[in-house]
Structure 1
Amino acid sequence: MIRLHVTPDLTPGAAVAPTLDQSRYLTQVMRLKLGDALLVFNGRDGEWRATIAEVLKKGVILKLEDQVRPQTLGPDLDLIVAVVKKSRVETIVEKAAELGARRVRLTITRRTNVEHVRLDRLDAIAIEAAEQTGRLDVPAIEDPAKLDTLLDSWDPARRLMFCDETGGAPVASAITEPGPWAILIGPEGGFAPEERDRLRALPFTTAVSLGPRVLRADTAAIAAMTLWQAVVGDWER
């Protein structure tokens, strides 16, 4: 069944107006008609069954019927990734949503050579991935911030899995606590020596290896999240 992310509160019998683009998707792409059913969620109130109650010239109106799943959240995992080229950042955001990350935090390192991102585009990608995967929340996408700034304000209660291309412990043996966690992926050129030294000296950081091959940022992000999920994530649920 079609799933749609909406922003209004979800309560029994409420009328919800999707955006114009969403309405066009429902009626022109998916060919839904008056009375047809779909699922909606907003990241706060669980998942609800809704029906198309009105078809207007500029949009549709949905009527909420009943809640089919209560609100739940996935594992408390942040993915922190140095900004890379547009297509790779978009892939990273999409796969982070699919793999259950709660937040994607973009960062600027010494060797980052791309600083401009379209957050509205990344938000749309995250929403679409959440709709398709069945999750009940959408990962937050945060504005790029300098790596030093992130580390200066770090909450030490959150462990940081630092993926170091120069070597580290295997993920399975290095990750021994359930969380909360963050995964840090560097730029295509790797971390600068002073960044690596600072990261390795922090008490909340665990340096890990993703194997003998040098991975691109998007591949590294997918591999790291997959390994983390296999060890302490929610795949066993």
Structure 2
Amino acid sequence: MPDYDFNSPRLFVDASLEEERRVSLEPSQANYLLNVMRLDAGAPVLAFNGRDGEWRCRIDRTGKKKADLVAEARLREQTPAPTLAYLFAPLKHARLDYMVQKAVEMGAGILQPVMTQHVQASRVNVERMRANAIEAAEQCGILSIPDCREPLKFEAALQAYLARGPMIFCDEREDAESPIETLAKLSEGPLSLLIGPEGGFSTEERARLQGETNVTAISLGPRILRADTAAVAALAVVQAAIGDWRGASS
């Protein structure tokens, strides 16, 4: 991302963005810019909404604790949202927050919790998941907010995502060839990556996955990884082998 502005604050907004368009900030956003960052009227801010690209804006104070953004110029055109779906057995609290943020940074376009037999957390706060996704997108120059979906049971998730393209799952018992070589054999199209809970997939779940021709098992090496670490490792392998890292300029 050459010549990118890493110094100006960056915010996600719901409103449309176009030249001289005024966008009212939420109280938390105004507080962040005015009191945390201590910015004043006219200071530059980057804004995006997932539809209109990224815009350079200026702050216009409208009150002691209120402010608007005024869009001045589009810096980047909107790019298509990533098609990579990240399916995961939910973790608890802070570790789930971390995993969501890293999945967004690593290019996931869909975040889908999957309730497996050995899942650690029985509930998922989707609004909190989306808030973490927005924070990661704001900090990392990402133009689209991933689709944060309601949890699905294991079987329902398979039926929903096997229909869209190849599915990859990380199996700690898999002793196959290099994951790079394995992934290189997959057909093109929207991908789904499935990572299980800390206790691994059950015998029944593993057999169900291995019985599908559109499912590929990969190993992440000789070490046992925590689920949040496995997420980063697996997404890096997928992006390097068959994802959007291929052909990227150095």
Secondary structure, counterpart of 1:76 in structure 2: coil
Q: Mark the runs of 5 or more structure 2 residues left unpaired by the alignment.
A: 1-7
Deviates most, 172-181 or 129-138:
172-181
Q: Shift of residue 74 of structure 1?
A: 5.2
Alpha carbons 1:156, 1:204 under 8 Å: kept: no
Secondary structure, counterpart of 1:213 in structure 2: coil
Secondary structure, counterpart of 1:28 in structure 2: helix
Q: CA RMSD in A?
A: 1.4
Which residue of 208, 222, 228 maps to 2:238?
A: 228
Secondary structure, counterpart of 1:56 in structure 2: coil
Pairs within 5 Å for 1:27-176? 27-73=34-80, 75-167=82-174, 168-176=176-184
Q: Shift of residue 232 of structure 1?
A: 1.8
Instruction: Give the Cα–Cα distance (whole angstroms) in 2 for the partners of residues 6 and 171 of structure 1.
Output: 39
Deviates most, 56-65 or 121-130:
56-65
Instruction: Give the Cα–Cα distance (whole angstroms) in 1 for the partners of residues 177 and 112 of structure 2.
Output: 24
Secondary structure, counterpart of 1:138 in structure 2: coil
Q: Shift of residue 164 of structure 1?
A: 0.8
Q: Shift of residue 26 of structure 1?
A: 0.5
Secondary structure, counterpart of 2:157 in structure 1: helix
Query: Higher strand fraction: Structure 1 or Structure 2?
Result: 1
Instruction: Give the Cα–Cα distance (whole angstroms) in 2 for the partners of residues 154 and 26 of structure 1.
Output: 40
Identity across matched positions, percent? 42
Alpha carbons 1:74, 1:100 under 8 Å: kept: no
Alpha carbons 1:80, 1:107 under 8 Å: kept: yes
Alpha carbons 1:115, 1:144 under 8 Å: kept: no
**TM-score, normalised to structure 2's length?**
0.90
Instruction: Give the Cα–Cα distance (whole angstroms) in 2 for the partners of residues 199 and 86 of structure 1.
Output: 28
Instruction: Give the Cα–Cα distance (whole angstroms) in 2 for the partners of residues 131 and 196 of structure 1.
Output: 37
Q: Shift of residue 205 of structure 1?
A: 0.5
Q: Do structure 1's residue 192 and structure 2's residue 192 form an aligned pair?
A: no
Number of the residue aligned with 2:190 = 180
- Deviation track 1:115-166 (CA, whole Å, cap 9, x = no partner) reads 1122222211111110111111111221111011111233434211111111
Alpha carbons 1:34, 1:55 under 8 Å: kept: no
Alpha carbons 1:8, 1:42 under 8 Å: kept: yes
Count of residue pairs brought into register by the alignment = 237
Number of the residue aligned with 2:3 = none
Number of the residue aligned with 2:16 = 9
Instruction: Give the Cα–Cα distance (whole angstroms) in 2 for the partners of residues 213 and 155 of structure 1.
Output: 28
Deviates most, 107-116 or 42-51:
107-116
**TM-score, normalised to structure 1's length?**
0.95
Instruction: Give the Cα–Cα distance (whole angstroms) in 1 for the partners of residues 215 and 66 of structure 2.
Output: 49
Alpha carbons 1:169, 1:207 under 8 Å: kept: no
Q: Shift of residue 97 of structure 1?
A: 1.0
Q: Mark the runs of 5 or more structure 1 residues left unpaired by the alignment.
A: none
